[in-house]
Structure 1
Amino acid sequence: MPNFEDDGLNRALRKLINEATDDHLLSVFLHFAEGRVAEGIYSELHDHHAVVEAELEHANKLRGGLDTPTSDGCAQAHHQLREVLKAELADAKAAMDEAAGIWHTLRRSSGVDLRARFGPGADTTESGLERAGWLRQQLAAADQRVENALDEHCEELHRLALLEAEYRAFTETSDSISADDFDAMTPVEFEEATAALVHRDGLTLVRRNGGARDLGADVIAVAPDGRKIVIQCKYRSPGGRPVGSPVIQTLNGTARPVHAADIVIALTNRSFTEPARELAAAQNIHLLFGRRLRRWATWGMPLLEVLGEDRQDSDKSDAA
């Protein structure tokens, strides 16, 4: 027994010990053991929380390339990892807080007669320790989810790195058309180059170039799944003005009503005005220029993939 400087304290302590029965001592020991177990569970949850927090901090520093064919894919992979880690961090924080609450409940009960809690027929759920044990059981699954998310992220980045190498190799081939190549063309050559790119993607050409009576359709093609694609090409000399909304109005008035288009595209080697962009978005007309044009023409990414229309192919095949 400890010996305190205060004799009164020593006497009071001896009195309590002398009066304690075996049931008293056993219940105190068991209660102390509960506290140690609860403390250990909290510590494990705290460590898990710290690991997830560190991984999220690392993930928040990840950035995609500014202008590469796979930068969007990298950004999406980073975003998906961050979302998983955010959810896991919130769950880890809730579990840690709950375990801390269970420990504090046990601590507050230290000053009462504990024999009833450990006697025959006692309610084992009263202390909350069983719930703390369940929280610890979830740790293995939580650790596995985090590990899976990290592994999937690494695998996706590896896949994108291989794809990036393929795209960069494509730029060295004659099928790759750069922005400078487009700028050096005539309007007719611009339409012919567009038709060549459409053919490169395995789409069936119906019209290679337009004319005075093309009714807004310079290039017409059919996708393997039967969807009809209508493209209006608007060439601009280097430094030329952006394409305005009248072009989109004309295309919108003919592409679907006249040409029965499923996919409508306005293409330029320059850019579009803001009113043109707003009208195109409202009428479900794809604008192909700038970075999207580079992804298709320079990097060799399939047109339907660039437009986000490739998903419809898989949807239709699944439905069939």
Structure 2
Amino acid sequence: MIIDQNAAVVPPQFLDEELNRLQDRYLDEADEEDMKAAFLWVTEGRLALSVYGTMHRLCEAVQRETDHAEQRMRWSRASSPTDGACRRVAMETARRIRAELNQADRDREKVADTWREMRDDFGHASRIRERYLSGGEREASPLDDHIKLARSCDEVVERVNQILQDDIDALYELALQEDEFLAFTRSDDSVSLSLDPPRSGRAVDGEIRRGAR
């Protein structure tokens, strides 16, 4: 291929003459189809990176929610009557979000594998050309499947948001239970454990007698 040095796009000029000679040889062996195949390969690589970026951002977001739920599992409020229940809610939330994260990670890795396979062709003009030869039987691009994974990210986000809403609802119910418990402990219906034993015993005994009437 003859390169017009006055064109808008020209080959780089290296300081090392051997590199320039090798580049000139490769260009002499290349034709318009090789250039077209190289551009198609770069374009497909950009598509793969775009899909990977979408999957990667999803995984990062789901990972943050997973970490938060798992952190809550370790929180302890021994003075709260709902402490154990709150941690069980966090455990269930973490389990459900972790399942979504594991699937998203597997999908992201599929896209990464495709990108690595394309990257391995870098510098192999004949392999890149064969990839786009017209006629004959051509393998379907895995990007067709990967773009479906990227489009399903919205569904993953919806499921994770539902998990988080379920978590909020469960914690809200527990907060109401705790408020009721605290209100009861402050009412006249509760028996204070700080009473001296004889008085406390009379109070409980009185409650038993009243209940038997």
TM range (shorter): 0.7 to 0.9
Structure 2 match to 1:143: 157
Structure 2 match to 1:25: 35
TM-score by structure 2 length?
0.76
Q: In 2 relative to 1, CA 143–120 (structure 1 residues): closer, same or farther, beyond 3 Å?
A: farther
| Structure 1 counterpart SS, 2:113 | helix
Query: How big is the shift at 1:174?
Result: 3.5
Runs of 4+ that moved beyond 6 A: none
CA deviation string 1:215-237 (max 9, x = no partner): xxxxxxxxxxxxxxxxxxxxxxx
Query: How big is the shift at 1:122?
Result: 5.0
- Tell me, yes or no, if structure 1 residue 74 matches structure 2 residue 89: no
AA in 2 matched with 1:6:
D
| Structural mapping, 1:18-167, within 5 Å | 18-62=28-72, 63-110=75-122, 111=124, 112-118=126-132, 119-120=134-135, 122-125=137-140, 127-167=141-181
Query: How big is the shift at 1:153?
Result: 1.6
Root-mean-square deviation (Å) = 3.0
| Structural mapping, 1:137-216, within 5 Å | 137-179=151-193, 184-185=200-201, 189=205, 192=208, 196=211, 208=212
CA deviation string 1:62-116 (max 9, x = no partner): 2253143322331221111111222122223222222221111111233143333
Q: In 2 relative to 1, CA 13–190 (structure 1 residues): closer, same or farther, beyond 3 Å?
A: farther
Structure 2 match to 1:15: 25
Does the aligned pair in 2 maintain the 1:102–1:132 contact within 8 Å?
Answer: no
| Structure 2 counterpart SS, 1:94 | helix
Query: How big is the shift at 1:191?
Result: 8.2
| Structure 2 counterpart SS, 1:173 | coil
Does the aligned pair in 2 maintain the 1:65–1:71 contact within 8 Å?
Answer: yes
Query: How big is the shift at 1:182?
Result: 11
Query: How big is the shift at 1:161?
Result: 1.7
Structure 1 CA distance for aligned equivalents of residues 169 and 121 of structure 2:
50
Structure 1 CA distance for aligned equivalents of residues 121 and 143 of structure 2:
13
Q: Relative contact order (C-alpha < 8 Å, sep 6+): which is higher? A: 2
AA in 2 matched with 1:154:
I
Query: How big is the shift at 1:2?
Result: 0.5
Structure 2 CA distance for aligned equivalents of residues 82 and 179 of structure 1:
37
Structure 2 CA distance for aligned equivalents of residues 137 and 123 of structure 1:
25
Which consecutive unaligned segments of at least 5 residues does structure 2 have?
1-10
| Structural mapping, 1:168-317, within 5 Å | 168-179=182-193, 184-185=200-201, 189=205, 192=208, 196=211, 208=212
Query: How big is the shift at 1:3?
Result: 0.6
Structure 2 CA distance for aligned equivalents of residues 50 and 97 of structure 1:
14
Which consecutive unaligned segments of at least 5 residues does structure 1 have?
197-207, 210-320
TM-score by structure 1 length?
0.53
Structure 1 match to 2:7: none
State the percentage of identical aligned residues.
27
AA in 2 matched with 1:101:
D
Structure 2 match to 1:294: none
AA in 1 matched with 2:158:
Q
AA in 1 matched with 2:173:
R
Q: In 2 relative to 1, CA 40–172 (structure 1 residues): closer, same or farther, beyond 3 Å?
A: same
